[in-house]
Structure 1
Amino acid sequence: MKIVILSVTNQGKLISDKLYDSLINNPLILHVEQYHKNVKETIKNIFNEFDCIIGIMASGIMIRSIAPHVNSKLSDPAVLLIDDNANFTISLLSGHFGGANDLTLKIASIIDSTPVITTSTDVNNKIGIDSIAKRFYCSLENPKNIKFINKALVDNVLVDLYLPSKFSFILSKDIENSYDVHIDDTLDVIISSIDGHDVILKPNTLVMGIGARRDIASEKVNHAILEACNLLDIPVDRIDFFATADVKANEQGILDNMKLFNKELEIVSMDTIKNYQNEECSKSDFVMKQFGVKGVCEPVCLISNGENSHLIFKKTAYNGVTIAVSVND
């Protein structure tokens, strides 16, 4: 995720700095930028370049600045608003599919403010179908029908939800309280339906890339995988497959975990990694010295996941193991 923080006053700049220092080291945040003043012009230039815009200012300034650029709940960035004293963090735009509601809770916890979320499903303790899509990395088909599904949820009507058995891991008390769940082994997509209005959730491919020191212990690899999934708030089952470099193809600690989780391991040649160019990939001087490549876990998960993939979890080290995760959407 790429985040931009905008401020107007000196007090707002202090809040911006605090957020920057916290977010820059978060594995889920790939890039953070800060801008001070010139809000209208800045938003014009960056509105479609970032996944989330955080404005620390009066609501009127923010609303007037984003209004000309708002297009669709499926493509607009998440927009959050924070007042100058950090009393409130408000989910202003793209609460569900843009992720603004979840981000509001996280940002509020960083600056010790009160989160404000106004979407009807959330305030009625329901999980909107577009929230499920965002949470589990799915693309949406028939998005015009989202309103029928979510309205039914708010009206306490039990909505049908058809799941492939391999996706039964998404079940939770909240979902089972909102939906009439049906497990269907013939499906490879998730379908929600009410009164003939269907919304289809197509799971995007998630690939976890692994790098590791020689003779790494299985327990350390296991810990790294689980920690990364915990931060992503998904089970290991949601990872479609794993990838590593050919120099790690016979690393027993990695192979043990592939067997444990019943997952395939794709092997990427070092020559392919050397020739791969992607600005999302970071550089490790150690790996460059040892193997002549900038890194392992980031490029292998991107290469294996295809040309439309991008990182959702940047390279993070866990006691001799490095993890990165990409999505292809």
Structure 2
Amino acid sequence: MESIAIISVTVHGAGLGQKLRHHFEADSNYEVHCFEKEGRASGDTAEFFSSMKPHMETWFKSYDKLLFIMATGIVVRMIAPYIKHKSEDPAVVVMDEQGHFAISLLSGHLGGANEWTADIAQFVGATPVITTATDVNGIPAPDVLARKLGFKVEDFSTLREVNSALVAGERVPYYIDDTLFFLHEYEAVAKAQGIELIRFNPHTVTGKATCETGGENAARVVITDLLLPFGPRTLVLRPPTMTVGIGCRRDTPKELILHAVNDSLANVNRSPKSVASAASVIVKADEVGLLAAVRELQWPIHFFTQEEMAPFIEASHIEESNFVKETIGVGNVCETTALLQAKSQTLLQKKTVYPRTTVAIAQVQSK
């Protein structure tokens, strides 16, 4: 579910904001909050502020999408201190209080501001103002595809290089690793965006040669979770293909956990950007080193209860450690939680023991 904040500073703007709130709330994928200036309220459900400045940092960091119904200059000055990077910033759209223009201001592709601007404009009858080069030239952008499919961008400097090549009229082919579990879904979404994905098998000489067509310095996009050598103008998009199950002893330092996880990913030749989530047992939910490690890796983590794990261990015939079972009630943490989180029966790496840490990696097979 995406969170939306609609902020207005005039009575007419507040009314327009409420109209949009009801429109977006009809979609169960959105949670919407209206913020209205004191003395200039709509009379509908809202929270009130006397000044935007004390609230701006919270709004900017707490919501996926921000719609400001006011002058663009006000918004630029207010959000400027909090802008970090296109991979982190929320979608920001600005609209005048009469609903004449809707402007995609920030995070047009990865944040979805361009699409959201078009949606807002269509609903209120406004003119959408979108200025990103690929969009104004009618060219499908790789970062839009990445957002739609939940992919991560490997290198943002390469993204700029590839988008520039597209706008300059260069042919930029898209290649996809044909061993990916959700291959057909990815191809269907790409096709809907007007993008043809060329399949290649990364484990064969012919397959590797396929995505090297045009030479090392050619601009291209490659979708894979594997760590493969590519040229300087190859944009790699990382699909979420794995879960990492982690077991550790009490008070294990972050550094030991990071070493174990990174070594495990290197063993299976996979990118950490393709990890959908980490997982562990609920008794580790307060483990400082573990929480610090996943925070540094920028992974979400899910903790399973022993009651969830025990029947899965039995049904899947997972080997257990008597010591661990006596300690926490179940005898296998890393494999069990990785598989449960992946909704899968396929391990890319079985339980591997490191100092004070165990790691298993599962292939995601359900969403």
Interval of TM-score (by shorter of Structure 1 and Structure 2): 0.5 to 0.7
Partner of 2:238: 202
Would you identify which runs of 4 or more consecutive aligned residues in structure 1 move more than 3 Å?
Answer: 173-176, 303-306
Give the Cα–Cα distance (whole angstroms) in 1 for the partners of residues 8 and 55 of structure 2. 11
CA deviations over 1:240-292 (Å, ceiling 9, x no partner): 9xxxxxxxxxxxxxxxxxxxxxxxxxxx99x649xxxxxxxxxxxxxxxxxxx
Whether the aligned pair in 2 keeps the contact of 1:142 and 1:198 (CA below 8 Å) is no
Q: Is the 8 A contact 2:145 2:190 kept in 1?
A: no
- Does residue 1:26 correspond to 2:39, yes or no? no
In the aligned structure 1, how far is the partner of 2:230 from the partner of 2:12?
Answer: 48
**Helix, strand or coil at the partner of 2:98:** coil
Aligned positions of 1:108-257 closer than 5 A: 108-165=121-178, 166=183, 167-172=186-191, 175-176=194-195, 181-186=197-202, 190=223, 196-204=232-240
Q: Within 2, Cα distance between the matches of 1:92 and 1:305?
A: 36
**Is the 2:9–2:36 contact (alpha carbons within 8 Å) kept by the matching residues of 1?**
yes
| CA distance in structure 2 between the partners assigned to 1:174 and 1:195 by the alignment | 25
CA–CA separation in structure 2 for the residues paired with 1:4 and 1:305: 32
Question: Which letter does structure 2 place at the counterpart of 1:11?
Answer: H
Preserved contact between residue 64 and residue 91 of structure 2 (Cα < 8 Å): yes
Q: Deviations over 1:4-49 (max 9, x none)?
A: 00000000000111011111121221x2111113222221222111
Question: How many Å separate the matches in 2 of 1:24 and 1:119?
Answer: 28
* 2:85 match: 72
Q: Distance in 1 between matches of 2:21 and 2:141?
A: 30
Question: Structure 2 counterpart of 1:54, which letter?
Answer: L
Q: For structure 1, which runs of at least 5 residues remain unmatched after alignment?
A: 207-239, 241-267, 274-302, 307-326
Q: Which runs of 5+ in 2 are unaligned?
A: 38-50, 204-221, 243-275, 277-303, 310-339, 344-365
- Classify the secondary structure of the residue corresponding to 1:159: coil
Counterpart CA distance in 2 for 1:90 and 1:126 is 19
TM-score, normalised on structure 1?
0.58
Residue identity in the other structure for 1:6: I
Q: Which moved more, 1:31-40 or 1:85-94?
A: 31-40
Match of 1:294 in 2: none
Name the aligned partner's letter for residue 136 of structure 1: L
1:155-205, Cα deviation, whole Å (9 max, x unpaired): 1101131113423323437544xx7x5311338x716x9973222211226
**Separation (CA, whole Å) in 2 of partners of 1:305 and 1:104:** 34
**Is the 1:149–1:194 contact (alpha carbons within 8 Å) kept by the matching residues of 2?**
no
Corresponding pairs, count: 214
Q: Distance in 1 between matches of 2:55 and 2:342?
A: 33
Residue in 2 aligned with 1:276? none
Distance 1:194 1:78 in 2: 31
Name the residue aligned to 1:228: none
Percent of counterpart pairs with the same letter? 32
Secondary structure of the 2:62 match is coil
Contact 1:168–1:183, Cα closer than 8 Å, also in 2: no
TM-score with structure 2 length normalisation? 0.53
Task: Indicate yes or no: 2:109 matched with 1:96.
Answer: yes
Partner Cα distance (1:305, 1:23) in 2: 31
Cα separation, 2, equivalents of 1:10 and 1:173: 40
CA contact 1:126–1:174 (8 Å) conserved in 2: no
Task: Note if contact 1:160-1:194 (Cα within 8 Å) is conserved in structure 2.
Answer: no
| Higher RCO, 1 vs 2 (CA within 8 Å, ≥6 residues apart) | 1
